[in-house]
Amino acid sequence: MADFTYDGPAPDKAQAPRGRKMANLANWAGAAVSLALVAGVGVWGYKLLVRDVAGVPVVMAMEGPMRVTPKDPGGTLADHQGLAVNDVAATGLATPVPDRLMLAPAQPGLSDEDLPHAELPVPVTMPATMPAAVPARGTTGSAEAPQLSETDPPRAVPVTETGEIDILALADQIAAGAAPLGELEDGEDPDMPAIERQMPEIVTDGSDLFPENEDSSDAVYKAPPPGALTRSLRPRDRPAVLTRAPMADQVAALVAAESAGPTDLDPDTLPAGTRLAQLGAYDSPETARKEWDRFSTRFGEFMAGKDRVIERATSGGRVFYRLRAAGFQDLSDARRFCAALVAENTDCIPVTTR
């Protein structure tokens, strides 16, 4: 028997152990990483559970003051700084009572031009010398005013029964004891008040206005210029009786028109082109008249002045009667009438006769 040798796969067998080692190392490395990952997740989960159950987070405060006032801030001092009342808000404690107190200076008041009108001081100026009295009309002399002494008692001001000051009595009281400025004229009463003697004579009897010795023949009549008003206008007298229909007659006429009922018009006599408003179609004329009465009761304001038209018509062997209203000026008037009835949920159609 012959022996056969096989040398082909020998080199492969020499490399097989090395590849198996690399595969084993990779497997062990993956297993180690997996175990480490599982262990890490377990530790992390445990710490998380422990912190949520028993752990309380604590925030530690910083040591020292958060804000520090500088010793020398610089700049200018504000008003009202350093007062005792400010120490209460700053430190919470009042400052001790000082040994010396000083009052604040008085504030400057308002000037006269800034004061209210009611508080303005009344300026009183006394003249150094009294002015001389003005001489009366027709006199040339002058007299000094009577000197009043401080010992003279005050005089009461004369008043009338209504409480008003009597001017004439006050003038006589002032002029009492004063020497006249000049000679009295002939016919003047020395007891007459001085104020009446100085008043000019303004009352006349009219003789100077219409002299009796004036010759009327010398008077020349002057015609007024064109357009001049020669006679004062005056309104016309109101007539004693005014022709006016009494309200009772008007009301009676309206009541009579309503009680008479609508006027029935024959449709054959209506000219072509007459504007009508059809209110409905009924089986008999009596039913149409009842419906007209119902419309008149419901729409009295719109049906006033309208005439009734009942027209016989035939359609498909059936006889019916059309109820229409007449009395419109044009087609627009009929359309407005139907629009008012349609707004109240009532059928109405504007039509024109042919």
Domain range annotation of the chain: 258-349
- pLDDT value of position 39: 96
- pLDDT value of position 98: 78
Q: In Å, how far are 223, 224, 230, 231, 235 from 227, measured between CA atoms?
A: 11, 8, 9, 11, 20
Sign, CA torsion 181/183/185/190: positive
- pLDDT value of position 43: 94
Given phi > 0 = left and psi -120 to 50 = alpha, else beta, which region is 255? alpha
pLDDT tens, the chain, 354 aa long:
556 665 555 555 555 566 788 888 999 999 999 999 999 999 999 888 877 666 666 777 888 888 888 888 888 877 777 777 888 888 888 778 878 888 877 877 777 777 777 666 666 555 555 444 444 444 444 444 445 555 555 556 566 666 566 677 777 777 666 655 555 565 556 566 555 555 544 444 445 444 554 454 455 556 667 767 667 666 766 665 555 555 666 656 666 655 556 788 888 888 888 899 999 889 898 999 999 999 888 888 888 888 899 988 888 888 899 999 998 888 888 999 999 889 988 889 999 888
Q: In Å, how far are 13, 71, 149, 158 from 154, measured between CA atoms?
A: 161, 78, 11, 13
Give me 341's structure tokens: 């009835």
Given phi > 0 = left and psi -120 to 50 = alpha, else beta, which region is 277? beta
Given phi > 0 = left and psi -120 to 50 = alpha, else beta, which region is 94? beta
Contacts of 177 (CB under 8 A, 6+ apart): 146
Contacts of 155 (CB under 8 A, 6+ apart): 173
- pLDDT value of position 48: 83
Q: Any idea which fold 258-349 has?
A: Alpha-Beta Plaits (3.30.70)
User: Residue 106 CB: number of other CB atoms within 10 A?
Assistant: 6
- pLDDT value of position 38: 96
Question: 164: which strand partners?
Answer: none
Give me 136's structure tokens: 């009366």
This model's pTM is above 0.75: no
What is the 3-state secondary structure of the chain? CCCCCCCCCHHHHHHHHHHHHHHHHHHHHHHHHHHHHHHHHHHHHHHHHHHHHCCCCCCCCCCCCCCCCCCCCCCCCCCCCCCHHHHHHHHCCCCCCCCCCCCCCCCCCCCHHHCCHHHCCCCCCCCCCCCCCCCCCCCCCCCCCCCCCCCCCCCCCCECCCCCECHHHHHHHHHCCCCCCCCCCCCCCCCCCHHHHHCCCCCCCCCCCCCCCCCHHHCCCCCCCCCCCCCCCCCCCCCCCCCCCCHHHHHHHHHHHHHHCCCEECHHHCCCCCEEEEEEEECCHHHHHHHHHHHHHHCHHHHCCCEEEEEEEEECCEEEEEEEEECCCCHHHHHHHHHHHHCCCCCCEEEECC
